[in-house]
Structure 1
């Protein structure tokens, strides 16, 4: 049995969002927008005021990959001092949109956030998602949901704790840095696989949660083995009985509940065809990872992984694998967007 850990290392470096060029640019965009928002809101002393911002999503968790379309992004939660009984959820997003509107960027109100997009040669290059929150006198936080032209029932303030998810996930690995590194690597591998297999409906937060739930300290120097273990456990979770509303036929769904938010199924909106497609592709992934585990030739193993994950997974020349022992996999434990 071969262990293509060295090639997994290269693959990880190929897909991992860079800590210097890309992340620095994203931070600069974030800081500029926050500074602008603060200054603009101050102009109306009787209106909503800026309180704080906090990183969310892959940036906060350190699980980002290079986007397939080149449109780099960062999620930045913004807490405003305003009364949700006085301001509607979309009304407050309009205030943020108007404060950030500028000739060199487009600002759009989406259902969960305000999105600021920077263009390069007419094509989206970077974007910053700004979920907007308020807080009541008991410390409960609420997320502004709804689009500008949504029906009134979709314009809501939804109770949320945006930092609890990050704290919960990273808290699992605070005493085991090796497992934290491997959690981030395996999450990135599955995100890249998702992109390669056109499973856009399998959202990043669901992938991250699945790895968080199922990864255990097994073999830090064999990512193929660990990833196979995670995939096997996910496949074992297609156990929730459901009825297809279109055909009335029974089937089994996969449920991935959001950590720290009991009862929030991240796959709830997926239809049967999407669930079946996801299950089929996961079975294919399992078969590929098993084949790699059984393969004795590193080059052949990497050919399987290249077909599975795409061209970013390297296929070495024969002379490159003459020394079979992989080097320990250590990377700087920074956070990437």
Structure 2
């Protein structure tokens, strides 16, 4: 059986956010927080000041570097866009009688950040999005939470009004389950999704759904290639029986897969599993690696693999003098 665990570990290093990028994102997030705080101090001194709580894949340590998009800017210069995001929740914690309409909170935050970057901000259905020149963005979902009330569920201020939503509960749920291998498996699955969507115009389920599916079906193994193979198979078995994915936290009755085409997703997943099975059972490590690479892209490198016959061939071209000298010293 071919063992590509080392190639997966190298792939993980290639797709996860490095410390420099993490620090850049934190600095951008903190600058936005200061901008919002200043806006309230200068323009709304008598209103309840918002608090902040980072959420999403950045806080779960499962964010992946996106596949770069090469394009041109307004001056015709070639630039590389990296379209990923960070979520930073904004919380208005106040007495119920002071609760504003969702559009008021949304307008306040939009006005605070709309000129923060050259790319500006936009009002999305469930957040205010701040865009950056390199293609990444920071999403600012806004919540109202009733003050001094136990077991209160925050309400997300959407364009259409409020809905119950608790991303901190989801963050806790995942972090309580996850070990380092599970986080890597989530990253691999997300990177697979990115590659599939780069190669076609189909839409596959987003990261939150992939995270839930992996977490519910995770198979631990000393090798990442086998862990991924067996986890994928469990996910497929589950979805073949019932094509649903329920949010494990508030709202627990929310079915997340209903808007994503079953045929496209399961077809791509089946092909990935077929290649995974072939790879794990292959006699050649390099050929097995190529089967993984077909679905994960060029960032999954096979260049450092040398088969046994290649190593022997390399030895045959070594200098006889050096060989004899090594033999004597042994």
TM-score, normalization: structure 1? 0.80
In the TM superposition, residue 316 of structure 1 has moved relative to its aligned partner by: 2.8
**Which residue of structure 2 aligns with residue 168 of structure 1?**
173
CA contact 2:117–2:130 (8 Å) conserved in 1: no
**Which residue of structure 2 aligns with residue 47 of structure 1?**
47
- Paired residues in the alignment total 286
**Which residue of structure 2 aligns with residue 293 of structure 1?**
280
CA contact 1:12–1:189 (8 Å) conserved in 2: yes
Among 67, 74, 88, the residue aligned to 2:86: 74
Larger radius of gyration between Structure 1 and Structure 2:
2
Q: Deviations over 1:46-78 (max 9, x none)?
A: 32412x211111101000111224124211111
Structure 1 runs of 4+ with >2 Å offset: 45-48, 81-86, 137-140, 316-323
CA distance in 2, matches of 1:58, 1:317: 30
How does 1:67-106 map onto structure 2 within 5 Å?
67-68=66-67, 69=69, 70-82=82-94, 86-102=99-115, 104-105=117-118, 106=120
**1:131 aligned onto 2:118:** no
CA distance in 2, matches of 1:24, 1:269: 35
In the TM superposition, residue 318 of structure 1 has moved relative to its aligned partner by: 5.2
In the TM superposition, residue 266 of structure 1 has moved relative to its aligned partner by: 1.5
CA distance in 1, matches of 2:210, 2:96: 32
CA distance in 2, matches of 1:118, 1:84: 35
CA distance in 2, matches of 1:214, 1:128: 30
**1:314 aligned onto 2:280:** no
How does 1:319-330 map onto structure 2 within 5 Å?
319=306
**Which residue of structure 1 aligns with residue 215 of structure 2?**
212
Q: Structure 1's 136 and 82: CA in aligned 2 closer, same or farther, altered over 3 A? A: closer
Q: Deviations over 1:253-288 (max 9, x none)?
A: 521111223211111222xxx211101111101101
In the TM superposition, residue 232 of structure 1 has moved relative to its aligned partner by: 1.1
**Which residue of structure 2 aligns with residue 37 of structure 1?**
36
TM-score, normalization: structure 2? 0.81
- Pick 1 or 2: higher relative contact order, CA cutoff 8 A, min separation 6: 1
Q: Deviations over 1:179-201 (max 9, x none)?
A: x1111111111111111111543
CA distance in 2, matches of 1:133, 1:313: 39
Show structure 2 runs of 5+ residues with no match: 70-81, 312-330
CA contact 1:142–1:157 (8 Å) conserved in 2: yes
In the TM superposition, residue 103 of structure 1 has moved relative to its aligned partner by: 5.8
Q: Deviations over 1:111-164 (max 9, x none)?
A: 111111122xxxx53311011011114233111111xxxxxxxx1111121211
CA contact 2:114–2:122 (8 Å) conserved in 1: no
CA contact 1:196–1:309 (8 Å) conserved in 2: yes
User: In proportion to residue count, which structure has more helix?
Assistant: 2
Aligned-residue CA RMSD in angstroms? 2.0
Which is worse superposed, 75-84 or 223-232? 75-84
In the TM superposition, residue 17 of structure 1 has moved relative to its aligned partner by: 1.5
